[in-house]
Amino acid sequence: MRKMFPILMLVLSSQSLRAQDLAVVGATVYASPTAERVADTTILIRGGKIVSVGQHVPVPQGVDALQCANCIVFAGFWNTHVHFTEPKWVGAASQPADKLTQQLREMLTLSGFTTVVDTASIPDNTVALRRRIESGEVMGPRIYTAGAGLFPPHALPYYVKDMPPEVLAQLPQPDTPAEAAADVRKNIAAGADIVKLFTGSIVAPGHIVPMPLAIATAAAAAGHEHGQLVFAHPSDLAGTRVAMESGVDVLAHSPEALEGIDDALLHQMVAHHMAMIPTLKLFSGDSNIAAIRSVVFRFHQLGGPLLFGTDTGFLTDYDVKEEYRQLALAGLSYRGVLGMLTTAPAQRFRVADHEGRITVGMAGDLTVLSVDPATDPLAFTRVLFTIRDGRVIASAPAR
């Protein structure tokens, strides 16, 4: 007989860690950000892939069934801006698996994230963490990583300068284009999937140093040669221009110093096929947060792709409510936010043929909510279950 799991009571055991067959039964499903919701739907996942979706899907014997009559189900959420830089990730290769799983739940998976993009960390820690997740030993999200970010010459941001000297020594500050390309290749050899450039480095409050264009261009070219996306921390107009002119694919933040960030520049960014991660929570205490929201929404209006990201890990408060609240204040609809969480990152990372939607053949990555975001923009935070490849990797505590 198949097992029947009541909502909120699924036990995450070592057996469920290995399971990749699951039926989510009786749910209300949004197959994509543009699709209408469909009630009383069953999603059948076999071998980590969705094999059937519909209102009259039989659940084979031996397949675990998650009874979900009060659930709202979406393709698994992405967080495209996180960091594994806190001390608790040091020695990830040898830390207890249960400890790492719990840390990942608190930071990411209890918020519904099945895929995350680490936009700079110490490669040894992050790659080891990813390896243990992919082996099934640790339950966690799919991780893309930038490894070590590249900074302008002699221009580390002021907020990293308190790191231990041995960590600071690992932060590349290439002086020449050749050194920049070599640093990118070193990251790739260490297991990096993307390139991260600090095209505008905040060396002191109010003092931003741009990365020389030749260095940024060489780094971006080295990443593109290996099929990697290039992210940039722009900070201001100069950093944004360096990012755009060097071929950066994704702004990891909205610019925060907005002088000169006008419609003409936003049009150019869209023409260069750039995407943007707003990270509005990061700026929510700034005096110009309303203006930053306006830049984000105008970029969106002009056709610029927005990706969801929170800077979690740099921000050690893992609550994501403020990000969703700020996006709603910016004017994003719930469908727009859903696109940021699902189809937009899948398209940008060139995996839209098997991720980002709920349809046959897609990965069995699902985020299950208790409230429909059509009624409340903060419903995106009401996560019941996070499912990756047909495995429940996090569930909300019983109430």
Cβ atoms of 324 and 341 within 8 Å: the answer is no
Residue 13 in this model has a pLDDT that exceeds 50: no
Mean pLDDT of 196-223: 97
**Predicted local confidence at residue 113, as pLDDT:** 98
Cα–Cα distances (Å) from 145 to 129, 151, 226, 228, in that order, read 11, 17, 14, 11
pLDDT of res. 169: 80
Structure tokens at 264: 């003409």
User: Average pLDDT of the chain?
Assistant: 93
Q: In the chain, where are the structural domains located?
A: 4-75+356-395, 77-348
Q: CA 163, CA 151: separation in Å to the nearest integer?
A: 15
Please write the tens of the pLDDT for every residue from 109-134.
999 999 999 999 999 999 999 999 99
Residue 334 has pLDDT above 50, yes or no: yes
User: What is the mean pLDDT of the segment spanning 53-82?
Assistant: 95
Write the burial class of residue 364 (CB in 10 Å: 0-12 exposed, 13-18 middle, 19+ buried): buried
Q: Kindly state the average pLDDT of the residues 15-31.
A: 80
pLDDT at site 398: 72
pTM of the shown model: 0.94
Q: Tell me if the domain spanning 77-348 has CATH number 3.20.20.140.
A: yes
Q: 151 near 114, Cβ under 8 Å?
A: no
Q: Which residue has the tokens 């990152």?
A: 345
Alpha carbon 56 to chain centroid distance? Answer: 33
Query: Minimal CA–CA distance to 106: which of 303, 390, 383?
Result: 383
Residue 306 has pLDDT above 70, yes or no: yes
Closest CA to 148 of 113, 214, 194: 194
Any idea which architecture 4-75+356-395 has in CATH?
Answer: Roll (2.30)
C-alpha to C-alpha distance for 312 and 367, rounded to whole angstroms: 18
Q: Is the pLDDT of residue 17 over 50?
A: no
* Mean pLDDT along residues 195-207: 95
Considering all CA atoms of the chain, what is the largest pairwise distance in Å, rounded to the nearest integer? 65
Q: Is the pLDDT of residue 8 over 50?
A: no
220-263 pLDDT per residue, tens: 999 999 999 999 999 999 999 999 999 999 999 999 999 999 99
Tens of pLDDT, residue by residue over 348-395, are 999 999 999 999 999 999 999 999 999 999 999 999 999 999 999 999
pLDDT category at 399 given cuts 50, 70, 90 is: low
Looking at residue 161, its pLDDT comes to: 80
Name residue 370's amino acid.
S
* pLDDT recorded at residue 11: 36
| Residue 15 pLDDT > 60 | no
Share of the chain above pLDDT 70, in %: 95
